[in-house]
Structure 1
């Protein structure tokens, strides 16, 4: 069996999960190097997953002749430089969402892919979730007729740290959190033409100190006139709640669940169950499947199912939503060029 020698950049919370999957859960990959600006952490993760080499400088990993492909899970503000460097080094590259903090940076990444001809795959793991993948197939089969309304809800059970929530680091709630929903909106319904949005700091006043919000709602008008709504919250205290409704002319598809295990606690006047704790529990399988898909695409010479252009356009919608929320005005998505 052919195996892809992978180098992983970024070994924080999600990066450690990727290290586990690339080293032990995916038959087609061999994790040969990890890198993180926290060199001690890189060494620790390398030891934990029996990875031969670790680096404190990501550039060293990209230069490593033993690395065939690069997976980037570092903070968003580092994506542009790392992706461009990996593509110029002719190393097939996978990058976690969002592609960048600004559209201009994302376009630089797209230009680098075009100029180098190097394989690139964008990380939008919800497309690989069995539930969302099934919904996509059923829509394409015409099971609900023509979808006319897209409605997505994403509720985090707690807010991120202030350092992470700072738009200078994460891009803000629409870009960091909402980009998954905007990608799904485009995947199911096509291009978004215009956006209106509202938002506020309602649960965590400290978020206002860094310029972020904890509750936002965006309404979408697609290019063909169909409609969409995306609502995001940082205070879904009861659990991690991700759901999507597709309302069609002949039926509706709903994707999502909140119950984690098939256990009910039944006491007097009460029936209770647990809830999904957070994103890794809800999308654990999806993360593995998308990395498996990346490796197989590279080894078999297949095209990427999720492209840098998908990342660019989802980011364009997220930036439009942010601008609409900031100004209180409807924003044409095509007007977002930086």
Structure 2
């Protein structure tokens, strides 16, 4: 078997026997992408690791170090809570193993820079799956090919029921603004990254944020728990060509989750909508050239079209891209250096909201 056809052995950190993003998304995604084989795992405890080993039929390792040093492991995938990313990613990098880590990469910019620096020449990949979405790649091509002409403005609206709605016990850490897994990092981070792939990165930013739900309900009961993570984030700034991007991320919305992006240009308009996070649900695209009504546009087909209605569709494309890179092809999946750039934007938003100043990026 040649280098381009070889099977890539995968070890997942945080793989459970009872569900979660690792078992529910990563395992089926790497299987659907083809060319990957699950060969090991690290659990949250000895008991959970043993149970996961029995369910998934692969060895459970006592530590990330041992997993990364195993001869048949070619890629370490980290799917645990954000506050633990640093302690688990660094040993895998030290062993020289390529790492695919879920987003957010770190709890803050400084930690993200440390992790990226440790990668050196080791291939890395970060779970900003919107960049692997065939729809958003197609949108980026439409804009770069001049469908809307010169971009004049882009408006992004993203709403989620989390960060204001009832929270499960296991998700309490997402309410703490110091732990990195906040609405700013997760919901806004994914939304703005996908939008940036289409229209370009913000060159500066001015932001207003607020905590409008200082207490949220725990589970379905009446007990209230404190929340320090922002649930309102309003951002504006200039794009590379001078166009204006404005974005509003809202949490705890009574009407449910949604996403929309409108791109206006000198020659046309694109309107992008989704009923939830755009990297995990189908996205509707409508467009109009100047003087014409908006009509639904159909993107080109893709090899995983049978998964288009599933939450793992973009993740399957990410794994396909990772496999292509590890077999010697060009990179299509963002790496840790890209994650640092995105963390730099989130840091600038926080600083702008605190100081009331526009921050250059």
1:58-94 deviation digits (Å, cap 9, x = unpaired): 3332232221111111222222333332222121111
How far did 1:184 drift?
A: 2.7
22 and 181 in structure 1: CA distance in 2 versus 1, 3 angstrom threshold: closer
How far did 1:282 drift?
A: 6.5
Q: CA RMSD in A?
A: 2.7
* Conserved? CA contact 2:65–2:95, under 8 Å: no
Determine helix, strand or coil for the equivalent of 2:116. Answer: helix
Structure 1 match to 2:315:
287
How far did 1:4 drift?
A: 0.2
- CA distance in structure 1 between the aligned counterparts of 2:77 and 2:104, rounded to whole angstroms: 14
Aligned residues: 312
* Deviating more after overlay: 285-294 vs 154-163: 154-163
Matches for 1:247-326 after TM superposition, within 5 Å:
247-258=264-275, 283-326=311-354
- CA distance in structure 2 between the aligned counterparts of 1:132 and 1:101, rounded to whole angstroms: 26
Matches for 1:206-245 after TM superposition, within 5 Å:
206=216, 209-245=226-262
* Conserved? CA contact 2:322–2:331, under 8 Å: no
- CA distance in structure 2 between the aligned counterparts of 1:281 and 1:330, rounded to whole angstroms: 42
Structure 1 match to 2:220:
none
Determine helix, strand or coil for the equivalent of 2:60. Answer: strand
- CA distance in structure 2 between the aligned counterparts of 1:40 and 1:288, rounded to whole angstroms: 30
1:162-197 deviation digits (Å, cap 9, x = unpaired): 322212323532223211133234323333232222
Structure 1 match to 2:149:
145
- CA distance in structure 2 between the aligned counterparts of 1:305 and 1:20, rounded to whole angstroms: 18
* Conserved? CA contact 1:46–1:54, under 8 Å: yes
How far did 1:224 drift?
A: 4.2
1:58 pairs, out of 64, 76, 82, with: 64
203 and 112 in structure 1: CA distance in 2 versus 1, 3 angstrom threshold: closer
* Conserved? CA contact 1:220–1:228, under 8 Å: yes
Matches for 1:3-18 after TM superposition, within 5 Å:
3-11=7-15, 13-18=20-25
1:121-162 deviation digits (Å, cap 9, x = unpaired): 222101222321221121122111122222222222333533
1:290-330 deviation digits (Å, cap 9, x = unpaired): 12221222123433541222211111111111222233x12
How far did 1:31 drift?
A: 0.5
195 and 66 in structure 1: CA distance in 2 versus 1, 3 angstrom threshold: same
Structure 2 match to 1:265:
none
* Deviating more after overlay: 137-146 vs 163-172: 163-172
List runs of 5+ in structure 2 lacking aligned partners. Answer: 218-224, 283-307
* TM-score of the superposed pair, with normalisation by structure 1: 0.82
List runs of 5+ in structure 1 lacking aligned partners. Answer: 262-279
Matched, 1:33 2:33: no
Structure 1 stretches (4+) deviating beyond 6 angstroms? none
Matched, 1:81 2:87: yes
2:162 pairs, out of 148, 155, 158, with: 158
How far did 1:55 drift?
A: 3.0
251 and 176 in structure 1: CA distance in 2 versus 1, 3 angstrom threshold: same
1:196-243 deviation digits (Å, cap 9, x = unpaired): 222333356339834112222111223543211121122234443122
38 and 333 in structure 1: CA distance in 2 versus 1, 3 angstrom threshold: farther
- CA distance in structure 1 between the aligned counterparts of 2:97 and 2:213, rounded to whole angstroms: 44
* TM-score of the superposed pair, with normalisation by structure 2: 0.77
- CA distance in structure 2 between the aligned counterparts of 1:36 and 1:142, rounded to whole angstroms: 48
Determine helix, strand or coil for the equivalent of 2:315. Answer: helix
330 and 281 in structure 1: CA distance in 2 versus 1, 3 angstrom threshold: farther
2:74 pairs, out of 68, 82, 92, with: 68
Structure 1 match to 2:102:
96
Structure 2 match to 1:134:
138
- CA distance in structure 1 between the aligned counterparts of 2:47 and 2:180, rounded to whole angstroms: 24
How far did 1:288 drift?
A: 1.7
